[in-house]
Amino acid sequence: MATTSIALTETPDIRAILALADDALILGHRTGEWTGHAPTLEEELALANIALDLIGQARALYQAAGARTGHSEDELAYLRDPPAFRNALINELPNGDFAFTIARLFFVSVAADQCWRGGFDDPAINDIARMASKETAYHIRHAAEWLIRLGDGTEESHRRARDAVDALWPYTGEIANPRAPWLAAIAPVLARATLRNPTDGWMQSGGRDGRHTEHLGHLLAEMQILPRTFPGATW
């Protein structure tokens, strides 16, 4: 019944675009999972806005990748299996508690901001980066303000924020390249949040090569079931 997955011939160019697109899609999907579960109505809308920003970025990038591969954005999102996804592992981790969601959004957004501002050879990707960097700047602002308040908040919020930073740290090696500017950008926020900067140890990797955690398969199963079961369905 399920539609057959597409097979891509990936040049380094296509692979690089898919890495950006998959990062945005997977984090957008995770962030969207908060809809209906956020702690307040205001935060519900904030997270939904951010999720939609990320999915919008993914769409633009898939269209750019599609121009090179001949596949539509829907085929790229819905008809690839986990090993074909190029997102960093940090994006596919389950949301955890609110502190984990916020700390991840902060770490990933700071890395994305530095990536967007790095410039791209392809003018089409540069245009997407210019649009995305404004959105990313707001994501950083929102996540940083929350992280500061959670870290420097109650006993419980501090503990949860600290645990989130510690748990996420081994996954930041894959997104923060080069590392020094990323560390420099997050340090002032961690300091204001009264959170310690973990020391770099062994880092998780493999997402860019399609070696994912068990969580991505579950995420994709939910995301892809409808278009795979009813090809071409519209609503």
CB of 173 to another protein, least distance (A): 30
41 binds another protein (CB under 8 A): yes
Q: Which among 87-95, 101-109, 139-147, 166-174 is the span making contact with another protein, rule CB under 8 A? A: 139-147
The phi-psi region of residue 9 (left if phi > 0; otherwise alpha if psi is between -120 and 50; otherwise beta) is beta
> And the tokens for 166?
């510690």
196 binds another protein (CB under 8 A): no
CB of 148 to another protein, least distance (A): 8
> What sections of 70-122 are H helices per DSSP?
73-78, 89-92, 98-117
Helical pair 123-151 and 98-117, crossing angle rounded to 10 deg: 150
Task: Fill in the DSSP letter of residue 205.
Answer: -
145 binds another protein (CB under 8 A): yes
Instruction: Lay out the site mask for another protein across 51-90 (x = CB under 8 A, - = otherwise).
Output: ----------------------------------------
* One of 49, 72, 133, 205 touching another protein (CB under 8 A): 49
Q: Give the CA angle between residues 52, 99, 193 to the nearest 5°.
A: 110
Question: DSSP string covering 29-71, please?
Answer: HHHHTTTTT-SSHHHHHHHHHHHHHHHHHHHHHHHHHHHHHS-
Give the type of residue at 132: A
Closest CB to another protein among residues 27, 161:
161
What's the longest Cα–Cα distance across the chain? 53
152 binds another protein (CB under 8 A): yes
233 binds another protein (CB under 8 A): no
46 binds another protein (CB under 8 A): yes
CB of 117 to another protein, least distance (A): 22
149 binds another protein (CB under 8 A): yes
Instruction: Lay out the site mask for another protein across 21-40 (x = CB under 8 A, - = otherwise).
Output: -------------------x
Phi and psi at residue 32, to the nearest 5°: -65, -25
Interacting residue ranges for another protein, rule: CB under 8 A = 40-43, 45-46, 49, 141-142, 145-146, 148-150, 152-155, 157-158, 194
